[in-house]
Structure 1
Amino acid sequence: MAPVTIVTGGGRGIGAATARRLAHAGHDIALCYRRDHHAAGTVLADIHATGRRGITVAADTSDPDQVTHLFDTTAGTLGPITGLVNNAGLTSPIGPFTDVTLTDLRRIVDVNILGYLLCAQQAARRMTTGAAIVNVSSAAATLGSPGEYVHYAASKAATDTLTVGLAKELAPRGIRVNAVAPGIIRTEIHTLSGMPDRAEQAAARIPLGRAGEADEVAAAIAWLLGPDASYTTGTVLRVAGGL
């Protein structure tokens, strides 16, 4: 039986690259997205082109009822869930912490923290031995991102703690929980944060001398979900070019 993996935030960036890579690796995919039907449909077509099964489910991961719907739909259509990539997240305009609005603070907490908790909880309730969760964190969790988005960094530090604690709690059931911590990756998130050329600007301060690509992060996620990582749990794997 093929693995069945939910990828949240799967319509673009790291989520889309991960969904495509996992499909090539033999996973059936439930692609969770929030708004962009066209982008999700494009990724779904690529999944089907590999010969794997796939569905799209529109859901706001900060809403518990929509998260339950996501997991119910996946299990009812594709079968028992064996993997979760907790990826749906957002940031807000780059700038000093003192300028961040209450609206942006609440949305970061709702999506990046509460959304991850809700999805991880549903996964933990349903998964059995051999299943795995990968949370998408950020190098910002340990760097702090001063002058850019301290609040986003704080939300990703919460992701790291979730990963370590849940890994220990679920280990006796044979369920692994890990995270990847990307550095500066070429995705649309920089445009959404108001600095579309941030990846290029940051290249000089990255030890490897360049920004990363979404597929490089997807490769790490795929490894953590796969059998080669069978003795790896509670790990935050940094994919950040040396940052």
Structure 2
Amino acid sequence: MTDDRFSFTIDGVAVEARHGQTIMEAADAAGLYIPRLCDHEGLRHQGGCRVCTVKAAGRSVAACTQPAAPGLTVENETPHLQALRRSLVEMLFHEGNHLCPVCEASGNCELQAMAYRLGMTEPTKYPYLEPTRAVDATHPDIALDTNRCISCGRCIRASEDVDGKGVFGYVGRGIHRRVGVNGTDLAHSNAAVTDHAVSADVCPVGCIIRKRAGFSVPIGDRDFDRKLIGEDIEDRRR
């Protein structure tokens, strides 16, 4: 092992890493999946959703932002952590209006897929807030449905860091926080359907909608119809 590489363990499995890598980056390379929603390849890490929470040396940390360290002991798939993640995902469902049977993102939705992976298949103890949020369909090519927004910030980081535009940003506070645009509405923003922030894989749910592209992939052929979320990473160990 070279000077810039070291090893640590995740659930007792030895993982090789290099200095500067986060726990999640090293885990991904080793084929060990750590659940996540706000983190996305190619975007700066945020550590906002906390679905990637792990125990590192006995402390709860966000795997997407916590650096790996030599000899570190990480716990990932424990009953306590899985219950924590499930509660977080349940609250995201209850905070918004997620009508999966009629959503064009169904089958491609990371929130829906995470719920299946964590065993959430029925209503839970939390009350549904049922917010009233208007859909912005003023743009000729894009619609914004914040009923489905989970405040992951992926569109914001993609627009700022990749597109160099800053089209999207948060407005409001607390449970009223949602994604807004840098104009009175989408039509008066500088959003374009060619923006990376609007691409199909940046928004993990069905909040950012590209018009005339919905339901283009039939049921049964969508991303998570035949495999669990994270299996593409786990396949690296097989």
Q: TM-score, normalised by structure 2?
A: 0.31
Q: Report the structure number with the largest CA radius of gyration.
A: 2
Structure in which a larger fraction of residues adopt helix: 1
